[in-house]
Structure 1
Amino acid sequence: MSLPYAGAMTLPSTMSERNSRRAFHTFWWWTWASLIFLYAVMYFVTFAHLVIGNEAAGDGTAVRVYGTVQLVLLVVSALTTFKTSLRFRSGWPDDGPTPWHTVAAVGVAPLLLALSSWGNDDGGLAPLLPFWLAVSHIAGLLPKPGRWRLFWAGLALVVAIAAVFRILYPGAAWWVELESTRGTSDSLFAITYGILIPAVVLGSVWWWDAIVRLQRGRAAERELAVARERLRIAADLHDIQGHHLQVIALQAELAERLVQRDPAGALEQIGKVRLAASEAMGETRAVVSGLRQVGFATEVENAADVLGAAGIDCTVHGWGHELTGAPREALGWVIREASTNILRHAQATRAELKLVETGEDVTLTVTNDGVAPRASGNSESEADDMDSSGLLGLRRRIEQLGGRFEAGARGDEFVVTATVPVEAVAARSVESAVGRGVQA
């Protein structure tokens, strides 16, 4: 199932999703057809009882009018019930106002039909069937606050109508005897219908509601997956653009200073600006397409060059080999963000990048001086560094891999430490197909 989002981000419709959607629709029609079959049986039984009861009452004009009114009420009851049954497709409503117009539309005709049992003892209590069916049906259409109140009120009304019928006609049968039901007691019919109708109607609606909620949960899970992927891409873009823009700004400033006294040096810095901009555009396209791989050695080289161009003495330790997999990617981001923060926030004269591999873990430490004196006492500067979105994003990346991340001032130095398991597997919230479907 494809879900549209800003930036034309969609989840591809896979074969399993299409099969799931087809099964969902098939189950709905099966549930609805089962309910309609039950309704049709109940209305047919009521119709048969009414016809036989009216025939037993005689052939007078009043009897015919009475019988016609009952049949009209039965048809109206059936039509309104069948029509509103399609609303079950949305599942059980949990809240909201009680739709009294629905209660009236579905319940008035069956109630009048049930009360009509008082006018003809030959018809028995068969007219109560559509009303009891309507009570169960309406209960499935109402939100929680009114659902069970109406159901129990309807049950009480059914019992009251039956009690009045027994008072008016103490010797009458509960049900007109049909050819197929001879020898079966009236009480057995009453108990069977009384239990069967709400159990099937409300049970079917409850089961369908569970399927609807499951489908909604799966859709919400897909939406959350896409939202997480968008946040990941946003974090990647922040890191890339922040790093490269800082480099471009620094090199442009150096070119501006050199343009008078060293035109050749200025041209060299302008060339680096162009290359940095080109690299930023390429990496941005790669991130958005989900194909970007952070080269660890490249990150170290870039960080040392940038810091050196800014007049910072940068020392590198422990780069004996190239990292691979998730540690390479995660620690590459740490180098980027740490070097960017040094250029932005510190007045550094020296910096140190140190990598230590113990066999199970890889630890990267980035240290720089130049922390302002106010940073040593929970200063505003330190808070700015620690609360920056870049460092928080790094912390999330490292912790997702099962590692540890620390960043803070130590005396006149600021130290960033990241430890990642060697066998860490990059945690991704959605399939890479999502990233491949988004164009820069």
Structure 2
Amino acid sequence: MSESTTARRVVLAILLGNAAWVVVIPWRMVRPPTPVLDAAFAAGLLAVAIVTGMMLRSAATARDGARGRARVRRTPGGAAVLVTLGLWWPAYQWAVPGDAPWAWLAGMVAGAVALALPWTVTAGVVLAHTGAATAGALAFGTSVLTQVLTVWGAAAAVVVMLHALVWLLGLLHDSERARESEAALAVAEERLRMSRELHDLLGHRLTVIALKAELAAGLTGADPEQARAETDEIRQVAAATLGEVRRAVQGETVSDLRHQLESARLVLSSAGVRMDVALEPLPLTAAESALLAAVVREGVTNVLRHARATEVRIRLEATRGGRTFGFVNDDAGGAASGTGPAGTGPAGTGLAGLAIRCADLGATLTAGPTDGDFELRVDLPA
């Protein structure tokens, strides 16, 4: 159980415990003629206390926003008022001379209503109870002023004493809901991170495995030794992929830019694609390095799947506004059909994910044909 939940339950217990005064104070001010009537009157007071406690609890937990007015069911409030009015005659008939049991009861219920229901309803309840107390004073020969002031004073005392508890309980309730929302958001973010990592990793590695499997199949008859070598490389790539999937699931970064460039060079050379790399010695954070590694994976995967490129150029250079990373292949037509921002296949999905990751770091992603080539470009802030 969290500290917030424990605190909320403690405050709720204190709040509901105060509802016991609805029973204790009026009951000590009456003298029913028989034990049966005494028990019946106590049962009526207990019913008022229960529905009053329900009303106060709803006032603190059914809230519209952290500082919003409580939205509660009106049933407990209406029941409390009706039972209170039902106890009007016995409370006045059996009252100890000089005491005002019904006025105390009516005032405490009115105060609870003020904490739970809109002020328009509260005003109606106060007026009804004031009128009933005046009628009781006139009917049973007691002071009208004493009865009315007791109703108002008890209502004010309840509001003053319990307002802070209702507010604190509502605050604790909102805090607990906020923690639950924060935990749910953390889970969603972790799922999104994992899906991105797995897409980047599996999309790239499975393409490599498929390419090498196709190459091995073609070499089986012509060059068995080379076919076996390709098969061995497939096993190595599969084993490495399994390890990196485990790392991704455990929350570790799949790769950084340097390791990804080494992997890309090996894969592209196997496909007969030259790779030219020119990186200026610019500082990169771990998150930026992981992002650029994802760009390289996406670029290599799309080259192998969609383009007929013979050369890939990778650049990192300083610009006036920051740093620019470019991944360019020399087949704009083939790449554009599968790697454009509006692509609907796996490549399009990958670019959409990269765009989100770039935005998270304040960078921008541009993908499209340029001067007969196809370029993935990331502009990083300074």
Common fold: TM-score over 0.5:
yes
Q: Is the 8 A contact 1:385 1:391 kept in 2?
A: no
- Map 1:80-159; keep pairs closer than 5 Å: 81-82=49-50, 85=53, 91-94=60-63, 98=73, 100=75, 102=76, 106-117=80-91, 119=93, 122=97, 125-137=100-112, 150-159=121-130
- Residue identity matched to 1:77: L
Rounded to whole Å, the distance in 1 between the matches of 2:28 and 2:258 is 87
Q: Is the 8 A contact 2:137 2:143 kept in 1?
A: no
Rounded to whole Å, the distance in 1 between the matches of 2:224 and 2:302 is 30
- Residue identity matched to 2:33: R
- Map 1:186-197; keep pairs closer than 5 Å: 189-197=150-158
Residue 388, structure 1, aligned to residue 356, structure 2: no
Q: Which runs of 5+ in 2 are unaligned?
A: 65-70
- Residue identity matched to 1:46: P
Rounded to whole Å, the distance in 1 between the matches of 2:38 and 2:125 is 20
Rounded to whole Å, the distance in 1 between the matches of 2:291 and 2:355 is 10
Shift of 1:322: 9.6
Once the two structures are superposed, what CA deviation does each residue of 1:277-336 show, in whole Å capped at 9, x if it has no partner? 111101111111123352432211221222232232322223769966333222111111
Which of 143, 146, 168 is the aligned partner of 2:139? 168
- The aligned counterpart of 2:357 is 397
- Residue identity matched to 1:133: M
Once the two structures are superposed, what CA deviation does each residue of 1:51-104 show, in whole Å capped at 9, x if it has no partner? 4xxxxxxxxxxx725x9636632443235525873786674325889463x457
- Residue identity matched to 1:224: L
Which of 263, 267, 274 is the aligned partner of 1:313? 274
- Residue identity matched to 1:112: G
Rounded to whole Å, the distance in 2 between the matches of 1:295 and 1:98 is 57
Cα distance change, pair 152–135 in 1 and its aligned pair in 2 (3 A): same
- Residue identity matched to 1:388: G
Q: Is the 8 A contact 2:256 2:286 kept in 1?
A: no
- The aligned counterpart of 2:246 is 285
Aligned length, in residue pairs:
372
Cα distance change, pair 203–298 in 1 and its aligned pair in 2 (3 A): closer
Rounded to whole Å, the distance in 2 between the matches of 1:105 and 1:92 is 19
Which of 406, 410, 414 is the aligned partner of 2:374? 414
Q: Which runs of 5+ in 1 are unaligned?
A: 1-17, 52-62, 176-184, 423-440
Percent identity, please.
25
Shift of 1:210: 1.8
Q: Is the 8 A contact 1:135 1:154 kept in 2?
A: yes
- The aligned counterpart of 2:68 is none
What's the TM-score, normalizing by structure 2?
Answer: 0.81
Once the two structures are superposed, what CA deviation does each residue of 1:139-191 show, in whole Å capped at 9, x if it has no partner? 767xxxx655643432232122123224435x52259xxxxxxxxx6665443
SS at match of 1:356: strand
- The aligned counterpart of 1:29 is 10
Structure of higher RCO (CA pairs closer than 8 Å, 6+ residues apart) = 1
Q: Is the 8 A contact 1:351 1:367 kept in 2?
A: yes
Q: Which stretch shows the higher mean deviation, 90-99 or 218-227?
A: 90-99
What's the TM-score, normalizing by structure 1?
Answer: 0.72
Q: Is the 8 A contact 2:308 2:334 kept in 1?
A: no
Shift of 1:390: 1.3
